[in-house]
């Protein structure tokens, strides 16, 4: 599964004092879609042996989402080298296709037994190709 997507509707609790989606909410959605993608393509055995942690988030805000906007989230893996996987997330207006936010996040794969970085196995890489 190369891409993974979901949609959501902006609610009152997502807004900040400017009546725009709060920056922290965008970050939460970025993490939620990454987790959803991982859980959709992996088996429980992988989840018991590996965990992902964020190394770096780079978020670009293009325009503000507001109450009742329907947001389409799409994610895919751009690259995987060593223990690091670079994931792209795009948040767009479902109607117009205009970008609200783009992000590029480096995730590091850890072994759950010793919590140390571990090279991403080919069988995991292949799940996202």
Whole-number pLDDT of residue 42: 85
Whole-number pLDDT of residue 24: 96
Q: Are strands 50-61 and 70-81 parallel, antiparallel or unpaired?
A: unpaired
pTM: 0.93
Write the CATH number of the domain with boundaries 3-128: 3.10.129.10
Distances (CA, A) of 115 to 11, 19, 32, 73, 83: 37, 40, 22, 30, 12
Torsion of CA 33, 38, 39, 42, to 10 degrees: 160
Q: Which residues of the chain have pLDDT under 70?
A: 1, 43, 45
Query: Domain residues of the chain, as ranges?
Result: 3-128
Q: How far is CA 62 from the centre of its chain?
A: 17
| CA–CA gap between residue 107 and residue 40 (Å, rounded) | 17
């Amino acid at each position: 599964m190369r891409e993974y997507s979901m949609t959501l509707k902006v609610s009152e609790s997502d807004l900040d004092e400017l009546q725009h989606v709060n920056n922290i909410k965008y970050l939460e959605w970025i993490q939620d879609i990454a987790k959803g993608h991982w859980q959709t393509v992996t088996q429980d055995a992988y989840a018991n042996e590996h965990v992902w942690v964020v190394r770096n988030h780079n978020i670009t805000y293009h325009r503000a989402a507001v109450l009742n906007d329907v947001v389409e989230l799409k994610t895919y893996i751009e690259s995987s080298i060593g223990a690091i996987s670079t994931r792209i997330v795009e948040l767009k207006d479902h109607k117009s296709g205009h970008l609200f936010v783009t992000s590029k996040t480096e995730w590091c794969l850890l072994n759950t037994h010793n919590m140390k970085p571990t090279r991403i196995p080919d069988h995991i890489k292949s799940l996202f190709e």
